[in-house]
Each structure stands twice: as structure tokens, then as C-alpha cells.
Structure 1
């Protein structure tokens, strides 16, 4: 029984481990616990795994009125998770954090069923901090994550990213050329990919688009993924930056790219947030990046990027310091220095992990 959901950061590693386990033993029965509202409601059935819904139970981080409703809601979720475990005859529960992980861990404990925990972020969430207390095995993405008995496995990669890692190892130039052709880009130009995730990041959008003139003047090309509803504003900024009526062909603006592996196949440098998935994928691919941690939350994004930045595989920039001037003065020289980028890429690859799904599957099989 695999439990996790709510965001791609939880669902993608879950599916990667599920695929690895089934590849090893086609007779293995895998069932997934998730919510009706999360991304898992589409991705899990789409991958061919049965999804059992568990009520969504956010754990309040500080005292609020929600505390009074928590016991009843949690009890209902634990009962639902327990019923799913019983029906599936599960022998181990593997949790990836998120809203359904806590009831899955508690239901498994009540039944004496072993638990394996995987934590994606450098700073663990509440659910995994709870589950790790009695887990049979604990896997973490980053060194230094404070969970008892933690084994560093890295973050299991999505199959399309794992395929790109293998393709780049065999013939990176061919992978780049094919991706550039599909995207309408020139494989021979220095290429910056800008992405703030599916929702975008206003600070990244403003900084990159505001420096569009300098980026193009340096002979680079840009694939700018703005996030939903933000493309028109970025296009206007780029037009202003290059002082032209039309959008330059070397500055490509899209809201979203479903096949993100194409962007990463052609990228020389990435300007991005530092979510665990982003950091892990870029390091596995050996891609240098300018990481701009999300300025809200518990500071986990800064911690996520720290190992690769300390190794020389990226640059960490506080959100408040990122603007068009920073891009012109710091990023443009970096993007146009091929030898520096090569050194950064090698450093990133040195801390990247490409076999994380297999490492987590090893822990699960050990428990089984």
C-alpha cells in the first residue's frame, strides 16, 4: 500500500517507486491511498494503479478552531485507510507524506503492519515526522534531514526524467537536438529555461522578462514558462525590453510545458524555485541552476538547494534580491561562459542521484 498525494512532489516519487517494484515483481499487488481532490486522482489511475480515497485531514501547525474537529476527522480517515489496508491484504505501507500519510501510518501501526517512510524535503513534514517514529525504514532525499534511522536515497525520478538521464549519458547532443526541434529552438545557442512551476513565480517572471534585452543581446535564447494566466504580462515585458512590436523568436514564452523533459534536454542553465523535485531532477541531469527559494513557508526550499549549491552546482539567490539587474549583471555572464557552466553541471551531477527509485524499492523489499 503506497500512500501520498496532494501535489506532484508527493505523487511522482510514489509512482516511480510503484513502477520499480512492479518491474521487479509483476505479480506484486500495489494499491495507492490518496484524496479525491489531489493530483493523484488523475495521475494514479492514469498509470494503471487502483486508487482508494481517504478523507483529506490537514494537521494544523498552530492552535486554531480546526483543532476541535481534528479528532473526529482523523478517526474517519484512519478507519478508511485501515479498511483499504485490510481489503488489499497489504503487507507493508509506504508513505510519501501529504494529507493521507498520517491516517495510513496510524492504521498500519494499529494492525502491526510495517511502515516505510520517504521524505522529499530537507525539512520533514508533520506526517513523516510522526510515521518515522515507528517506521521499519526511513528514506530521505537530502543529507542532514532529521528523521530517526534515515537512509539517504535521493528522490525517485519520474520515468520521463529517468529516461532523459539515460539518454543524456549516452548522447546528450542528440537528446538536445531532438528537443530543440520539437520546441522550435536552436540547439547551438546558449539556452536559459525559466520556470516557477505550474503556478509560476512573479519574481522570476519579472526578473527574466525585464532583462530580455540583455539576454538576447548576449546571443542567448530563452524558454520562459510563466505559469497559468501569466504569459501575456511576460510577453508585454519582453516586447518592452527589446523595444519591438513583435515577440522575438529567441525568447519563447509559454504558460506551461507538459513535456518538461524537452525543456531540460535543451537547457544550459535553469532559473527556478528550489522545490525538492526540481533540485533533485536538475542535479540528476547535471544541470546548473539559479535557485530562488520560495520566500514563504518553513524555509525548506533554501535547505533543499543547499547541498548542490555548496558543491558548486548552482547559485542560491534570495527572492528579494532577484530582479532584472541581477539577471543582467550575474546570470547573463554565467549563461555565456560555457566552461563555467560545464564545471557547475559536473558539480551538480556529483551530488545528484539517478537510482533513487531502486534505493527506495530495496528498502521496501527488505521490509517485505
Structure 2
């Protein structure tokens, strides 16, 4: 196959694209895979690190509200579509797979111009503009959870890194806790907020730390690189600027407190890790919707950002980590929604779109 994957911008777009690229190569080692991105996104670093070709096009940010940028949008779109079409012709692409964001819209329009099939993958519970447009051009639409409002939607899940998709938390727990310098038997909370950290989560964890430690628990805390100097390790508390081995962090933990990005929700469900979700209070509210299927199934709790106080967090964490039966039930409920084979299922959809 000759495939162009349009998944630039944030990790929520780039990581599923890379997981799909790896699944394509597993299915067809001779496949030619190119990722489409811009010079502004994380793909500039992540794609070459994983050994894939990156083709850059002009960024086309989509304004959320009326502004002067909206007036310039048609010119920017035309320029990006022209350059994307050149990439598709040069690589003799058979199919475009889009993951939303400002790289996907030019890719969908260019694929229409060149006359090749489109596959759309929507990770969020509330589809963005690019995928709402792209889904009109194809019957091959994959979604992360049932009920996402797109035509022809098939519930596939979110393609995940193999280290996460294949993780056996129980089998890896001893190795994971040793890796982070945690005690092997103490119940463990893993707090994180993405690569930059999350201010509200950081404040609640650090200010509510003493009751959790006094109850006999330990904490692994990804604080974000900019916040690393503001916290100090102490017995039972391991702060890190960033966690490179998320698989081991999930294996080390009995409970997580985190934001509710689509990738985070998909990974926690796949590995069966109960969580307290604190949706980011910005954007179009998609993070709350991302977490709701797991919460409604009993696999997690949801607290609004403004209501996450140190006392609330300490009380809930102490109650949960002290109740192993409840944690086990939550983990089972979360795992019932997890999809570990989403990457392979999406490749099947790509094969179908190309007629293979």
C-alpha cells in the first residue's frame, strides 16, 4: 500500500497516526507510509524519531470564532490543498487517512482533487470541523466510541502504542515500581496532566499530599518540565518532569488522576486502570464527553476542574486506594470499554477503502 496519514499538530492526532503507521507496516512490510504535518506540530520531532517520512504543508488553523484569520482562511486552504495534492501525486498515494486537526482538512480536499479514497478517524466524542467535512466525502469513517455523530461511523477505538495496547499491568507491576523507585507493595496513585503538566492537578496533589502519605499510600507525579523545580521528592512521593515510559507508569499505579484527553481515556480503558478524570475546562467541552463512557460504566470518577481541591482529592484517593474490591471492580468496568486492537481494525478499513 501507498498511504498518506494526516495526523499533525497535537499528540492526540500524531500518536494515533503513528500507531496506525506501525500497524500498516506489520500488515504489509513493503508499504510506503508518509505522514503529513506542518513545521509547528509535534510531528516534526515524533515522526522522524519513529523512522517515518514527514511531508510538510502550510498550517491551516481553523478559527473557533469570527476574526481576521477567518477572512484569510480560503487563501490558506487553497495553498495547503495545492501543496498536499502535489505530495499525493508525487508519492502516488492510494489512500489518505485523516485524524482531524488542521492538517486533515487540506488532506481531505486534496484527496478529492486527486481522486483517491479517504478514511476518517475521529478520536474525540465531539468531532471537529475537519472530520465533519471529511466524513461527507467517504463511507469509511472510524470513531473512538459508539454514538459519535458522524455519517457511516464504525466503532473502532483509538490506535494505541503497542507498549500500551499489549500491557499486562499485573505482570509488569514489580518491574514498573522498581523502575520508578517505588515500594513494591504500597497502593499507588499516578497523577499526570500531559507533557506540560496540569496546574490544577499539580496544586491539588502537592497540597493534599500529607493525608495520602499518612494513610500509607505512595504517589508517582508527572508535574511537567516547567514545574520540575517547584516540587521535591520525599519518602513515598516521586515527582518527575515527564514520564517517557507511560506503560510502566500505568503498570505501577492502582489509580490515576488525570485530564480526559481522548488518548488518555483510551489508554486507561485499554489497560483497565481506574481514574479520577479532571476535564480541561476549555475548548468545546470534548474532554468531559471523552470520559463519560468510562465514568458511566463505573470505571472512573469525574470532577470539574474548579471543584478539584486538595481536601476533595485526598479524601477520594484515600477512600479508593483503601478499598481494593472497589478498585478491582472499577478496573474491570474500564477494561470492558477498552479496545486494544484499534490499530489493526483501522488498517482493515484502509484496505477496504483501497479495494485490497
When normalised by structure 2's length, the TM-score is 0.96
Q: Secondary structure at the match of 2:97?
A: strand
> After TM superposition, where is structure 1 displaced by more than 6 Å over at least 4 residues in a row?
none
Structure 1 counterpart of 2:202: 205
Select 1:271's aligned residue among 231, 236, 257.
257
Structure 1 counterpart of 2:146: 143
Q: Secondary structure at the match of 1:331?
A: helix
Structure 1 counterpart of 2:214: 217
Q: Distance in 2 between matches of 1:354 and 1:137?
A: 20
Q: Secondary structure at the match of 1:41?
A: helix
Structure 2 counterpart of 1:240: none
2:17 is equivalent to residue 14 of structure 1: yes
Structure 1 counterpart of 2:226: 229
* 1:217-242 deviations in Å (ceiling 9; x for gaps): 1110000111122133344xxxxxxx
Structure 1 counterpart of 2:55: 52
Q: Distance in 2 between matches of 1:336 and 1:272?
A: 19
Select 1:259's aligned residue among 245, 248, 273.
245
How many residue pairs get matched? Answer: 351
Structure 1 counterpart of 2:286: 300
1:27-66 aligned within 5 A:
27-66=30-69
Q: Is the 8 A contact 1:114 1:136 kept in 2?
A: no
CA deviation after TM superposition for structure 1 residue 261, in Å? 1.5
Q: Which runs of 5+ in 2 are unaligned?
A: none
Q: Secondary structure at the match of 1:30?
A: strand
Structure 2 counterpart of 1:348: 334
1:97-136 aligned within 5 A:
97-136=100-139
CA deviation after TM superposition for structure 1 residue 79, in Å? 0.5
Q: Which runs of 5+ in 1 are unaligned?
A: 236-246
CA deviation after TM superposition for structure 1 residue 330, in Å? 1.8
Structure 2 counterpart of 1:244: none
Q: Distance in 1 between matches of 2:118 and 2:237?
A: 48
Q: Distance in 2 between matches of 1:250 and 1:72?
A: 56
CA deviation after TM superposition for structure 1 residue 159, in Å? 2.3
* 1:42-83 deviations in Å (ceiling 9; x for gaps): 111222211110100111122211122212111110011000
CA RMSD of aligned residues (A): 1.1
Structure 2 counterpart of 1:357: 343
Select 2:187's aligned residue among 162, 187, 190.
190
When normalised by structure 1's length, the TM-score is 0.93
Structure 1 counterpart of 2:74: 71
